[in-house]
Amino acid sequence: MNNQVNTVQTLLKFTFGLVPIVAGADKFTNLLTNWEQYLSPTVANMLPFTPHNFMMIVGVIEIIAGILVFVNTQKGAYLVSAWLTLVALSLLTSGRYLDVAVRDLVMAIGAFSLAKLSTVTTQSK
């Protein structure tokens, strides 16, 4: 049983470590998508800088969150879960990209599950 739990935990750790790092790095290149399109126009108008600069800040935060998953899985997974929830809420309130919002909420649940799983496996060691 422990081997299966460790396999699941490792798979989730790499998923929620690598995906934020890749998505964060892409905020600087826009190879995967134009990330600015996901920014609510209301939020974009309130920013003291350009949406592009905001996305680069978001990218740095995502890279840090992904690295934290590898360094301290429990804390990093909670951070990724919270971050994905905030992104989803932002999309939901904008009324756009609702499919992405749902996907991000599902991913947030997965990251939260990794954090809880890390708590259990840490306590059993």
pLDDT tens digits, one per residue of 4-52:
999 999 999 999 999 999 999 999 999 999 999 999 888 899 999 999 9
* Domain ranges across the chain: 2-123
Q: How far apart (Å, rounded) are the C-alpha atoms in residues 125 and 57?
A: 37
pLDDT at 122 over 80: no
Enter the DSSP assignment of 49: S
pLDDT at 125 over 60: no
Q: How far apart (Å, rounded) are the C-alpha atoms in residues 38 and 14?
A: 25
pTM of the shown model: 0.90
Q: How far apart (Å, rounded) are the C-alpha atoms in residues 35 and 32?
A: 8
Burial class of residue 51, CB neighbours in 10 A (0-12, 13-18, 19+)? middle
pLDDT tens digits, one per residue of 61-108:
999 999 999 999 999 999 999 999 999 999 998 899 999 999 999 999
Show the 3-state SS of 79-90.
HHHHHHHHHHHH
